[in-house]
């Protein structure tokens, strides 16, 4: 089965389950207020972290360095903001984990280690022969 289709089915089911469980414990109105609160807080903090990432990216550019981490971090912050806007507790937890710089760095390091292992485990080279061509030889071609 397609993983995206599976996510489209499983994520709402988990969210509905959590709504029912948490709503049963703290009440329906409190649950709704908590959902709105996490959305507002998450969007505000995403804006704050996004601006910090943008400043760090410009700082890297002014030093003539590539802001690769900042670009990826900005995209992850935007995705985290979307997760925080979507109503639900599981998506909020994942969104907050992605927004905070410490956990974002930990998650990035896990993925980068997997990518590096995958990239360097294969033989990524092409075997071939070459010949230097002098300027005089170009005229002969």
What rounded mean pLDDT belongs to the chain? Answer: 86
Asked, for residue 41, whether it belongs to a domain, the answer is: yes
> Residue 136 has what pLDDT?
62
Asked, for residue 138, whether it belongs to a domain, the answer is: no
Asked, for residue 35, whether it belongs to a domain, the answer is: yes
Asked, for residue 4, whether it belongs to a domain, the answer is: no
Asked, for residue 141, whether it belongs to a domain, the answer is: no
Name the domain count of the chain: 1
pLDDT at 119 over 80: no
Asked, for residue 83, whether it belongs to a domain, the answer is: yes
Asked, for residue 78, whether it belongs to a domain, the answer is: yes
Taking the C-alpha atoms of residue 131 and residue 127, their distance in angstroms, rounded to an integer, is 14
Range of the domain at 56: 9-120
Asked, for residue 2, whether it belongs to a domain, the answer is: no
Q: Which residue has the higher pLDDT, 134 or 11?
A: 11
Share of the chain above pLDDT 90, in %: 57
Taking the C-alpha atoms of residue 140 and residue 22, their distance in angstroms, rounded to an integer, is 81
Taking the C-alpha atoms of residue 84 and residue 38, their distance in angstroms, rounded to an integer, is 7
């Amino acid at each position: 089965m397609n993983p995206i289709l599976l996510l489209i089915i499983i994520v709402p089911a988990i969210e509905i389950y959590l709504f029912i469980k948490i709503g049963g414990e703290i009440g329906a109105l409190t649950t709704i207020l908590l959902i709105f609160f996490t959305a507002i807080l998450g969007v505000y903090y995403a804006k704050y972290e996004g601006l910090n990432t943008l400043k760090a990216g410009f700082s890297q550019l002014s030093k003539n360095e590539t802001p690769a981490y900042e670009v990826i971090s900005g995209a992850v912050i935007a995705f985290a903001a979307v997760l925080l806007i979507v109503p639900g507790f599981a998506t909020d937890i994942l969104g907050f984990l992605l927004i905070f710089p410490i956990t974002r760095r930990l998650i990035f390091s896990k993925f980068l280690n997997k990518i590096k292992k995958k990239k360097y485990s294969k033989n990524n080279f092409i075997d071939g022969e070459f010949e230097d061509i002098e300027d005089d030889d170009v005229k002969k071609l």
